[in-house]
Amino acid sequence: MKLQTLLFSLVISGASLAQAVSAAPSITDLLATPVPAGANSAAVAVPRLEWVQRVKNNNDRAQKAASSIKLVFDGDSITDGWQGSGKAIWARRYAQLGAFDFGISADRTQHVLWRLSAGQVDNLKPVLIALMIGTNNLSSNTDEQIAEGIASIVRDYRARCPEAVVLLQAIFPRGQKAEDSARARIKAINHSIAKLHDGKKVVFVDFGEKFLNADGSMSPEIMPDFLHPSEQGYQIWADAIQPVIDQYFPPAAAVKSGASVK
């Protein structure tokens, strides 16, 4: 209902809008509200206007399957790619676990925060939330701001899904060469967010080296554009987090449940 209200408010006139929502701030106002001066843009919930309809569609599908969603994936295009290059692996590994992929291409930390504020996990009671986000913030935020944005998402998920465990995954390495300027920044951000690990409700894992050659270079067979995994890359990812998945979804129980959510 939150996004239905949002979409409705986007298409009615200013006069009609004032009458329709005089008792509360309009979504149009919320969408137009700038990040406060001096605030960390990576830690303030902000939407992307071009993807509001997709967010609504995702939320609608999630609400229809709310009781069966037990495993949530969230992030940017890399997570979104589970429905692309990683689709076959997703079907084998996660479909029977009641998994749902909220990842959206090009999203930054602030966009995930906004999606959560727009009702993304309302009425959901996941067991595990697999989160990996932040690489798209590299062009607009400092390392400290990005780490703060990720921490804000973890806190938000913990508040909205208190029974769930957040599987916080380190930002994947990017760039073909070990000397790529993004590598050192990603390492610093991952070092910061690793401190969110408590071994109970937040589990941090860093398996970025599994995507790299011995000399630190990245093979195009693993990530063709040196950012997004190929099917082989998604297989590496799936294998790396499988021990954690098995901890919360014992194989025998997963087969017995037979749940299936896209």
The reply to whether 111 belongs to the active site is: no
CB distance 168 to 199 below 8 Å: no
Euclidean distance between CA atoms 92 and 89, whole angstroms: 5
Would you state the structure tokens that stand for residue 62, as one six-digit string? 């999630």
The reply to whether 77 belongs to the active site is: yes
Q: Which of these is catalytic: 85, 107, 228, 230?
A: 228
The reply to whether 225 belongs to the active site is: yes
Does residue 71 sit in helix, strand or coil?
Answer: strand
CB distance 70 to 97 below 8 Å: yes
Would you state the structure tokens that stand for residue 239, as one six-digit string? 């294998």
Q: Which of these is catalytic: 41, 77, 217, 257?
A: 77
Q: HEC string of 14-61?
A: HHHHHHHCCCCCCHHHHHHCCCCCCCCHHHCCCCCHHHHHHHHHHHHH
Q: Which residues are catalytic?
A: 77, 225, 228
